Amino acid sequence: MPLTDTAIRNAKPAEKPVRMFDAGGLYLEISPAGGKLWRLKYRFGGKEKRLALGAYPEVGLKEARGKRDDARKLLAADIDPGEHRKAQKEAKLERASNSFEIVAREFFSKNRATWAASHHNKIILRFEKNVFPWIGDRPIAEISAPEILTILRRIESRGAVETAHRTRENIGQVMRYAIATGRAERDPAADLKGALAPIKREHFASITDPAKVGELLRALDAFQGTFIVKSALLLAPLLFVRPGELRKAEWSGFDLGKAEWHYLVTKTKTEQVVPLSSQAVDILKELQPLTGHGQYVFPGRDPQKPMSEAAVNAALRRMGYDTKTEITGHGFRAMARTILHEELHQKPEVIEHQLAHKVPDALGSAYNRTKFLKERRAMMQLWSDYLDKLKAGAEVIRLHPAA
């Protein structure tokens, strides 16, 4: 006879497993310990098989019968319910292992060695805040352009337009990695070009008027902070490298005898050569007795770490400069690029190579660290001599090339 809820509730365990049968092969098995499990007995391919349907009372009589009926439909279609369940479980595991977050973290991990730590951490944080909560557990192959656009619009709506653009680029990188590893067929982020508001580029604050540059240099000379920070401030306009590269400079990269500094460009992972003017060498020689025994030229409070990334800008603010509208540590690059070209008439390609920018040449090379080295060496000395004249208050004579 068909089972009833009352009969199931009142059933007691025995020394051996007890089976209470319903219709269609469904039965409840009661273990000696009192556990009650639903099972389905069926035949497939001439063999008797059993399928677990869950435990009572979590799975009630009505639900157990529904599972039985589903299994019988599969049998009618010549499908083994047990194998079908196994295939579903494997598909679910595969979907979970190919979720967007899993693939993204795998991609980030593989690139960690070639990315700057700050860049890697910034992207991870960006995804954890803006992406993973919404599509992290979605199978990467099923993610659509509208889903990604919803995420980007959410970022854009809070005014972070540039972050929205960078997030689209990062999602595209993950999608292309998924394609390369056989876990997706296309990149839906590519369909969103032009879907976001354009970025309003704001250049780093900089001083490019020679007279005002002279004022700034005199202020740097008069800085009353620590000797290490002051040395970094004095070298910043002479070398005009990226602020992060200056503060992380290591003594092992300097050859003061050859007047050269070799370091790895963080953006391109290529080696850069900075010819050192006599003024730059003098500053470094004066600093060397203080920090030359350690790794970093400009160590922070912890000698094992470089000085804070905020140190130079904080020093500029102490001198009364607004780092949002007047000058930043990064602004020394724009200062050099502008004045070297407009006032000292240096070749743009020589300046760009000294800035460690990618400048494709006729051979297709994106960057050559030794190219124009002789010209760059002369330019760096010319630049330092020019800054000395500005600092001394020499009259600035603007030179304009003939038409």
Active site residues: 242, 267, 330, 333, 357, 367
Q: Name the helix (H) or strand (E) containing 7.
A: helix 5-10
376 token code pair = 């760059």
In 3-state terms, what secondary structure has residue 139?
strand
Q: Could you tell me how many residues make up the chain?
A: 403
Q: What is the DSSP string of 8-72?
A: HHH----SS-EEEE-STTEEEEE-TTS-EEEEEEEEETTEEEEEEEEEETTS-HHHHHHHHHHHH
Residues 337-342: contacts with CB under 8 Å, at least 24 apart = 337/240, 338/206, 338/208, 339/208, 339/210, 339/213, 339/386, 340/379, 340/383
Give the closest residue to 203 by CA, choosing from 344, 326, 354: 326
**Residues in Cβ contact with 275 at an 8 Å cutoff, skipping those fewer than 6 apart:** 259, 260, 373, 376, 377, 380, 381
Closest to 268 measured CA to CA, from 183, 337, 368? 368
The one-letter amino acid code at 89 reads K
At 172, is the secondary structure helix, strand, or coil? helix
Pairing of strands 271-275, 18-21: unpaired
Tell me the one-letter amino acid at 137.
Answer: D
C-alpha closest to that of 226 among 315, 328, 288: 315
Q: Identify the sign of the CA torsion 295, 301, 306, 307.
A: negative
- Euclidean distance between CA atoms 33 and 252, whole angstroms: 72
CA 296/CA 306 separation, integer angstroms: 6
Using omega within 30 degrees of 0 as the cis cutoff, is the peptide bond preceding 57 cis? yes
Determine the Cα–Cα distance for residues 253 and 261; give it in Å rounded to an integer. 6
